[in-house]
Amino acid sequence: MTQEELLRLPKVELHCHLDGSLSQEFIEKRLGRSVKKEELSVSDDCTSLAEYLEKFDMPCQCLKDEEGLEEAGYDVLKSMSREHVCYAEIRFAPLFSETESMSCKKAMEALIKGLERGKQDFAIEYGVIACAMRHIGEEENWRMIRDARELLGSGVCGADLAGAEASYPMSQFMNLFENTRKIGMPFTIHAGECGSVDNITDAVNVGAKRIGHGIAMRGHEDVIRELAEKKIGIEMCPISNLQTKAVSGPEFYPIREFLDHGVRVTVNTDNRTVSNTTLTKELEFIQKTYGVRDEEVLLLMRNAVDAAFASDTVKEKLYRKLAEK
């Protein structure tokens, strides 16, 4: 597809972090000062995950009150509307926004308020994914997930586990997500972004319907086959993964391998501002680099609808939009 065709394509995004996707305009307004683009985004020669994570300090300062969260929700959908995203799942860690005057439930409600305004103005359906964090204790994470469960279907669509995967493997969180499954909360798990394929199999065994990144499955045909058979969605974020050196070079990125094995692959931005990317740019990149065909781009969007934590009504609407292409 041409760049213009990719831009006009109705898009579905399942893996987009709020703090890493806020516009420069929004951050400047909230901080009350001008900010250089290089303070918010990594360059093409980013050397590590540590360098990448430095770019989150400034946006996180903007998410410490209800007004900031509401405006952030509106801001991210406004950015997405410029490239015809029609459904987005926005993830954030409510415990990071919690203050003495704002509980994590209030933080979620404030974000939802802004997203709801964005939905009305830009005709984008949305869901919020509440992230538990690996370095935070189980009790706090469980409290947050229970709060998020109260908002399931009223803006929240699921839960996630994010943070330093190498230091905190999935095996430490089996109880937390067994309980999450028991209360009827759908969830995805950041797994296999770093080396261990065991984090992916543990996540699936405890009930994850989707895997964030999943690149450690590369070369593990048995695991790839299992996830394809179980129709587990894989939220791939190509540009971000190359920037953080999750793989040592583009030739080691397994999107072609996963697609050829029938895995339910989806393509996402991860962090629009930090990675200086859009869904259009990601699709253009995989077509150019991995020979992803036009019909496969449409398959990636249908896969995203299949894997979305959305209602059947919303999914039907999205399938119809894609069928018009």
Catalytic residue among 70, 193, 282, 284: 193
- DSSP per-residue codes, 165-220: TTTS-GGGGHHHHHHHHHTT--BEEEESSSS-THHHHHHHHHT-SEEEE-GGGTT-
| DSSP symbol at 83 | T
User: Residue 113 and residue 117: Cα distance in Å, rounded?
Assistant: 6
Q: How far is 182 from 205, CA to CA, in rounded Å? A: 14
Establish whether 221 is a catalytic residue: no
Residue 65 phi/psi, 5-degree rounding, is: -145, 170
* Helix, strand, coil share (%) of the chain residues, nearest 5: 55, 15, 30
Gyration radius of the chain over CA positions: 18
> Identity (one letter) of the amino acid at 111?
L
Between CA 189 and CA 267 the distance in angstroms is: 16
Quote the Cα angle for 48-268-310, to 5°: 135
* Catalytic residue positions, numbered: 193
